[in-house]
Structure 1
Amino acid sequence: MDAVVGGGGLVLLPALLVGVPGVPVATALGTNKLVAIAGTSTAAVTYARRTKVDWQVAGPAAGLALVCAGLGAGLAGVVPAGAYRPVLLVVLVAVAVLVVARPTLGVVSLPHRRTRVRMAVAVGVAGVGVALYDGLVGPATGTFLVLAFTAVVGADFLHASAMAKVVNVGTNLGALVVFAATGHVLWVLGAAMAVCNVVGAVVGARMALRRGSGFVRVVLVVVVTALVVRLGWDQWVAGGV
């Protein structure tokens, strides 16, 4: 799922919190980054070998993301989850409405949108805004990156996914360095999970490459819907805990 359109943290973080009772949230986030960087790196290489990556956008965004995700990780735990969960819910609902209301979005590329100004905006949104969020929280980072590259520079979903994986490597690495330096990584468990994550990344990336942008669009809608349901449950049913 994460290799196709992001959202792997939706599954991985709850699994860590349930599977390792009493684990600090920061440690779950740090271990998640160890696992995720294995998968995103594998997916990024798989995409780069089989399709064209817009390095003029993805490269600078990944460099910025490395720093900004580290800053976000340094702030993890300072801002309670309840503070940004409602905002994230609104954003995800807006994303779902946008994708459903515009069935042609991301199905084909729109090269006329790839202007210098839009490229700079895409680099800023992905390398700063989304990267800070990834260091702080994480889930749906890949989804936000895909939407940013699709909406801003007119990439189709397949190529946007390829670019998103490159930037996601930067966000995961930046956050992992900070979490590791503060002792918030379960290395043995994370390494074992990373092996499985690599397998999933190869399968997911190849599936996206084989089935194209239409398939990625469907997965995107499903993942965003699942994120909204999960966050809504946490906010209102589970008492916002």
Structure 2
Amino acid sequence: MYDISLTTVVVLCLAAGAAGWIDAVVGGGGLLLLPALLIGAPHVAPASILGTNKAVAVVGTSAAAVAYARKVPVGLGRALRIGVAALCGSMCGAFFAAGIDSAVMRPMIMVVLLAVLAFVMFRPAFGTAPATGPAGRGRNVTAVLVVGIGLGLYDGLIGPGTGTFLVLALTAVLHLDLVHASATAKIVNVCTNLGALAMFAYHGTVLWQLAAPMAACSLAGGLAGARTALKRGSGFVRAVLVVVVVSLVAKLAYDQWVA
């Protein structure tokens, strides 16, 4: 076990709670949690940081998924089909993560995020209209391939922003409102986290003693975030989405050109 002070553990637990809240509302909690782990435990190997992050994230996301499922009607069968595809994708991504140059990936992700931000800003009604009827076969297949496998692979390879991408993709592909998209995204995100965590755990790169108290705080944050999103509605989720996307772009730009 790495030597991590009690003060650092407390700060990391607070960060985990905040990240759980953000993840439950609109995704992107990794934007806060990963940098917190890197700053709080600079001597810990990157693979162990990633593995510990997944162990914490899966608990908060699972809590949020249960909270949403109790209040929002979710197509569970469809969510699980996308989730199984995402689990397979995330396991593959985690397996190949060591061979990916993040310096090459960051500019690509920033371009995608800027496009997403422009789309959301110039489409004020995006995700605020009521969900449409059942999606056709074509849209369901697209959701499995693009949302499931594609974003599952991304989550295993890199991670931060996956929850946000899931909400956006589900809203665009399945024509869901942001609250229903967030509820479905939580189920899929649990699967991506489990897939990546299984691979990291297999390689022994999870700090379980640190992950346990952080996971408890993430659980509390996830439950609180789900209640907030359900109470405030799609408009609030959209506002948080804009803030998270801007923050993701800023963080990636900093990593690319400053750090």
TM-score by length of 2: 0.90
Q: CA deviation at 1:25?
A: 1.4
> Residue 98 of structure 2 aligns to a residue in which SS?
coil
- The 5 Å alignment of 1:1-241 reads 1-111=22-132, 114-238=135-259
Q: CA deviation at 1:112?
A: 5.5
- What are the ranges of 5 or more consecutive residues in structure 2 without an aligned counterpart? 1-21
- CA–CA distance in structure 1, aligned partners of residues 151 and 90 of structure 2: 8
1:214-233 residue CA offsets vs partner (Å, 9 max, x unmatched) = 11000000000000011111
How many percent of aligned residue pairs carry the same amino acid?
Answer: 55
Q: CA deviation at 1:77?
A: 1.7
Q: CA deviation at 1:12?
A: 0.6
- CA–CA distance in structure 2, aligned partners of residues 65 and 104 of structure 1: 28
AA at the equivalent of 1:191: A
Structure 1 stretch displaced more, 216-225 or 122-131: 122-131
Number of residue equivalences: 238
Q: CA deviation at 1:56?
A: 3.8
- Report the aligned-residue RMSD: 1.1
AA at the equivalent of 2:191: G
CA contact (8 A) 1:114 1:153 kept: yes
- CA–CA distance in structure 1, aligned partners of residues 233 and 42 of structure 2: 40
- What are the ranges of 5 or more consecutive residues in structure 1 without an aligned counterpart? none
CA contact (8 A) 1:68 1:131 kept: yes
- CA–CA distance in structure 2, aligned partners of residues 34 and 164 of structure 1: 18
Report runs of 4+ in structure 1 exceeding 4 Å deviation.
none
